[in-house]
Amino acid sequence: MKKSYNIDLSDKGIKELQNGLEEYDKWIKKKSDELCKRLADMGVQKAELNFSSAIYDGNYDYEVHAEKSGDGYVVKASGEKILFVEFGSGLIGYGHPEVQNMGPGTYPGKGHWNDPNGWWYAHGKKSHGNPPNMPMYNTVKELEQELARVVKEVFEL
């Protein structure tokens, strides 16, 4: 929305300018909400794809959704095993790329991360651990890559 104003320094001219600025404020708020909603919807799609392609020995459920929060939106993932999928568990030599001195996941307590024989899940499958798949972390990184493009589209720049 590109607009220009010739400022007439009369009561009528100032009132017209005030009305124009109020209209512009409404437009900015509408477009800002549209941008947040669009990014949240993209985040849900990307996170679902990232969760669905995650490497995980066990069976897990997950649900990803966006919800309104204050002036924006929050993308949330829930499920019994999502922390194992996001952060990994028990696999030596893996860690989060932006965290120093963090070892493999040990849920809860010590866990089996250093057991050379691995362990058995309740459903009978053997495991030696799972790498951190980072579906939510990667979703944020992917959205960062697309942010400028989406802003330009929403604000018609």
Whether the per-residue pLDDT at 82 is higher than 80: the answer is: yes
Give the DSSP letter string of 9-47: -SHHHHHHHHHHHHHHHHHHHHHHHHHHHHHHHHHHHHH
Contacts of 54 (CB under 8 A, 6+ apart): 85, 133, 135
Sign of CA dihedral 22, 24, 29, 34: positive
Is the pTM for the entire model greater than 0.95? no
Residue the block writes with tokens 């320094």: 9
Q: How confident is the model at residue 95 (pLDDT cuts 50, 70, 90)?
A: low
Query: What single letter denotes the amino acid at residue 61?
Result: D
Whether the per-residue pLDDT at 130 is higher than 90: the answer is: no
Q: What whole-number distance in Å separates Cα of residue 139 and Cα of residue 82? A: 14
> Which residue intervals of the chain are DSSP H helices?
11-52, 82-87, 135-154
Q: Which pLDDT score is estimated for 113? A: 57
pLDDT tens-place string over residues 13-31: 889 889 989 999 999 999 9
Angle between helices 135-154 and 11-52 (to 10 degrees): 150
Q: Which pLDDT score is estimated for 96? A: 55
